[in-house]
């Protein structure tokens, strides 16, 4: 069968293509251009495309290129900005997988005659009794199922993830043995369209500063913030609070945002009670199973990427949203991020965190 590999110019997608070739598939590459170039050297799209071309030449496979920058701005970046303006901290990688990679890119791969779209994700798609199941990658340190939980389940039937059974060192070893030119290319980090630039400076290009008071939980005003979108719960650095007479001397942390009054709420101490959550709600969950399967015993939740799974009780509210009660209090749970549910290695789906509480 013809498999189209989403090639990013990195080692993971390169080895995904290599493995599929060795399995006997007809393989073609597809490079997505998702972000317009800037003049400050932060966007690496042009360099990444050249790396993808070098890999395709080494593997002797065709490489296509598709410009999805307009779609990305309309359906990922616009929602990203809207969430920040609302005082949330969104995760654009989740949106990109749902809207672009397994949306527009998958459809383009099918127009190229591909039966499947393959990616370099560290996750597994396994057959289940009622359809494809999304499972964690074997390499728990690299597992990316968290970022895939919002993809419509039926789209996984046309997806392949060859790296799901591998650990990262093995992927690099395979790349070196095959002579792939990206074998030692460092992994990309952070949000793709921001690159290595300072995040606050980038966000300020699109969201104006609206200064307001910084207050303690008791209501004492101790400073001025530059605008609520520029802070996230649990943040320590960059708050702008100096030494205060009579304070404990412990670091200050963001513990809340009062968007109605434009107030940033802070507290002192890494383990201040206001930093912890005992229950939360998540809206509009995307289900990768029958919803009833996520409401029983043995469920765990992940509230941020790389967090260890936390045992939790899940109930469904009348409007379809989820009420989630972790077994133990969780620190710095952030509205706008995703609450993703698991049973053992299987990802059951998840939704966007809207409210937290003690």
Provide the annotated active-site residues: 96, 192
283 backbone dihedrals φ, ψ, rounded to 5°: -95, 155
**Dihedral angle at the C-alpha atoms of 176, 181, 60, 34, nearest 10 degrees?**
120
What CA–CA distance (Å, rounded) separates 99 from 96?
Answer: 5
Q: H or E segment at 54? A: helix 45-59
Q: Which residues pair with 127 in a beta bridge?
A: 132
**Cα–Cα dist 183/308, whole Å:** 29
DSSP string, 324-340: EEESS-EES--BTBEEE
CA 224 to chain centroid, in Å, comes to: 31
Three-state DSSP class for residue 357? strand
Q: Alpha-carbon distance 347 to 350, whole Å?
A: 8
Pairing of strands 310-316, 221-225: unpaired
CB-neighbour burial class of residue 223 (10 A; exposed 0-12, middle 13-18, buried 19+): middle
Apex CA 287: angle with CA 281 and CA 293, to 5°? 90
Cβ 15 vs Cβ 180: under 8 Å: yes
Tokens of 77: 């970046």
Distance CA 128, CA 233 (A): 38
Main-chain phi, psi angles of 74, to 5 degrees: -75, -35
DSSP state string for 254-298:
EEEEETTTTEEEEEESTT-GGGEESEEEEEEEEESS-GGGGSSSS
């Amino acid at each position: 069968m013809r498999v189209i590999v989403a090639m990013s110019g990195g080692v993971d997608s390169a080895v995904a293509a290599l493995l599929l070739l060795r399995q006997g598939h007809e393989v073609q590459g597809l490079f997505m251009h998702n972000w317009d170039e800037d003049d400050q050297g932060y966007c690496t799209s042009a360099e990444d495309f050249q790396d993808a071309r070098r890999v395709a030449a080494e593997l002797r496979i065709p490489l296509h290129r598709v410009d999805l920058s307009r779609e990305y701005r309309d359906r990922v970046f616009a929602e990203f900005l809207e969430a920040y303006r609302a005082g949330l901290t969104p995760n654009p990688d989740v949106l990109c997988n749902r809207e672009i990679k397994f949306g527009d890119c998958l459809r383009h791969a099918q127009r190229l005659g591909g039966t499947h779209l393959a990616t370099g994700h560290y996750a597994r798609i396994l057959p289940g009794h009622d359809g494809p199941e999304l499972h964690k990658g074997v390499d728990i340190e690299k597992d990316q199922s968290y970022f895939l939980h919002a993809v419509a389940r039926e789209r996984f039937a046309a997806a392949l993830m060859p790296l799901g059974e591998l650990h990262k060192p093995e992927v690099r070893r395979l790349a070196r043995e095959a002579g792939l030119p990206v074998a030692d290319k460092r992994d990309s980090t952070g949000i793709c369209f921001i690159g290595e630039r300072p995040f606050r400076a980038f966000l300020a290009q699109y969201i104006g500063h609206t200064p307001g008071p910084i207050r303690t939980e008791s209501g004492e005003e101790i400073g001025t913030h530059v605008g609520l979108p520029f802070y996230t719960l649990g943040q320590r650095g960059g708050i702008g609070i100096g030494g205060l007479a009579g304070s404990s001397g412990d670091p200050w942390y963001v513990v809340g945002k009062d968007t109605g009054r434009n107030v940033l709420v802070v507290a002192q101490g890494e383990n201040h009670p206001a930093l912890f959550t005992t229950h939360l709600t998540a809206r509009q969950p995307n289900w990768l199973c029958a919803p009833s399967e996520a409401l029983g015993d043995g469920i765990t939740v992940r509230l941020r990427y790389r967090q260890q799974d936390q045992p939790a009780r899940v109930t469904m509210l009348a409007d379809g949203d989820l009420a989630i009660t972790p077994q133990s209090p969780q620190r710095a749970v952030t509205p706008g991020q995703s609450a993703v549910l698991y049973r053992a290695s299987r990802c059951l789906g998840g939704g966007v965190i809207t409210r937290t509480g003690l």
